[in-house]
């Protein structure tokens, strides 16, 4: 029996009910729901080998599972524990458990990980390179990259943009983010220009097909270009721009957008709004990024910061 089929047998009613609740009551994004599904399936599979149903698992059973995944990165371990906490709290609220077996389990300590980003020169090199790409595919990739950097979009937000999201009369883009929350983000002239040029050829590129998406799939399906395909295109662009493709991803461009805004004096609340962060604490990480970069600049260039300065 294939591994997927085995996992599906583990997927009992309580897990499905929990996932349905995440979707209906918390308006969880499909990717978030899928992540919970993977984590809970993994835990259920591990416990099933020990003849233990996840719903009936005790604290020591869960500690055993977490020891099993301790080889993974701390953030992965923390995410797995978080999924289990949410699941057992749901069971308690539904009177399917009397107590939460995760309540005494501590999450692994996470060091502060600063987001990876590109310098302004590196972003400009990408944009200059993609501007030389020929044909309609080049216009599409240029528009996608310009929008990504101009508005700090998540990759799912970018690929799922409908054509109606671009408001040319106001130089704005309407973004539907996590949990279905909408936000308006202003666009600069280069992003507007690149999007206009793509829109002019998009209809011909579709070749009589109809699609609501700004960046439709080239396969003929009524769907947007996939996130995976955009990842691939960015990696290819990095190579063409003589940048390390391992350093480039859509989220790295999003980080660059936020970091560059902070470095140029943008206030944190505005950046929070444009990124679509629910909590400003999430946005504050970019002040650390900018601060550390400034500290390096002082250390490298200030005469009194150099070792042996008199």
Residue 63 a catalytic site member: no
| Active-site pick, 79, 154, 255, 260 | 154
Residue 12 a catalytic site member: no
Residue 251 a catalytic site member: yes
Sign of CA dihedral 14, 16, 21, 22: positive
pTM over 0.85, yes/no = no
> Are residues 287 and 208 part of one domain?
yes
> Are residues 234 and 149 part of one domain?
yes
> Are residues 276 and 197 part of one domain?
yes
Model pLDDT for residues 162-214, shown as the tens digit of each residue? 999 999 999 999 999 887 889 999 999 999 999 999 999 998 888 778 889 99
> Are residues 268 and 186 part of one domain?
yes
Model pLDDT for residues 245-287, shown as the tens digit of each residue? 988 999 999 989 988 988 888 888 888 899 998 888 778 777 7
- Segment 206-235 mean pLDDT: 87
| Active-site pick, 33, 38, 178, 235 | 178
> Are residues 124 and 238 part of one domain?
yes
> Are residues 239 and 188 part of one domain?
yes
DSSP conformational letter for 213: B
243 or 117: whose pLDDT is higher? 243
| Active-site pick, 79, 80, 125, 277 | 277
pLDDT of the residue at 92: 92
Find all residues with CB under 8 Å of 54, minimum gap 6, and list them. Answer: 10, 12, 14, 15, 40, 43, 44, 47, 48, 87
Residue 288 a catalytic site member: no
Residue 154 a catalytic site member: yes
CA distance 76 to 275: 24
Domain boundary among 93, 128, 158: 93
> Are residues 145 and 71 part of one domain?
no
Token pair 């550390």 in the structure block, residue = 292
Residue 286 a catalytic site member: yes
* Residue-number span of the structural domain to which 238 is assigned: 120-299
pLDDT above 80 (res 308): no
CA distance 28 to 82: 15
> Are residues 71 and 198 part of one domain?
no
The CATH number assigned to the domain holding 169 equals 1.10.443.10
> Are residues 160 and 83 part of one domain?
no
Pick from 217, 287, 290, 248: nearest CA to 149: 248
Pick from 123, 150, 134: nearest CA to 248: 123
Domain count, the chain: 2
CA distance 288 to 87: 34
| Active-site pick, 63, 89, 193, 251 | 251
């Amino acid at each position: 029996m294939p591994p997927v089929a085995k996992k599906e047998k583990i997927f009992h009613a309580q897990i499905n009910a929990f996932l349905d609740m995440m979707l209906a009551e918390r308006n969880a994004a499909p990717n978030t729901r899928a992540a919970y599904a993977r984590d809970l399936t993994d835990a259920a599979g591990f416990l099933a080998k020990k003849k233990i149903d996840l719903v009936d698992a005790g604290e020591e059973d869960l500690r055993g599972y977490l020891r099993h995944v301790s080889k993974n990165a701390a953030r992965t371990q923390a995410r797995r524990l978080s999924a289990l906490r949410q699941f057992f709290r749901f069971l308690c609220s539904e009177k399917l458990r009397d107590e939460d077996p995760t309540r005494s389990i501590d999450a692994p300590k996470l060091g502060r990980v600063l987001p990876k980003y590109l310098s302004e020169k590196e972003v400009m090199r990408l944009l200059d390179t993609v501007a030389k790409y020929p044909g309609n595919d080049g216009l599409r990739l240029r528009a996608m990259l310009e929008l990504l950097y101009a508005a700090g979009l998540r990759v799912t937000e970018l690929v799922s943009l409908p054509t109606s999201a671009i408001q040319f009369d106001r130089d704005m883009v309407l973004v539907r983010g996590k949990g279905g929350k909408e936000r308006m983000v202003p666009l600069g002239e280069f992003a507007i220009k690149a999007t206009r040029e793509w829109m002019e050829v998009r209809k011909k590129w579709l070749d009589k097909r109809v699609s609501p998406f700004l960046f439709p799939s080239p396969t003929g399906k009524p769907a947007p270009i996939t996130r995976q395909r955009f990842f691939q295109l960015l990696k290819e662009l990095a190579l063409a721009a003589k940048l390390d493709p391992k350093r480039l991803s859509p989220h790295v461009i999003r980080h660059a957008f936020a970091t560059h805004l902070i470095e140029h004096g943008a206030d944190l609340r505005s950046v929070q709004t444009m990124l679509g962060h629910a909590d400003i604490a999430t946005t504050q990480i970019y002040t650390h990024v900018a601060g550390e970069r400034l500290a390096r600049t002082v250390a490298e260039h200030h005469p009194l910061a150099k070792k042996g300065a008199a």
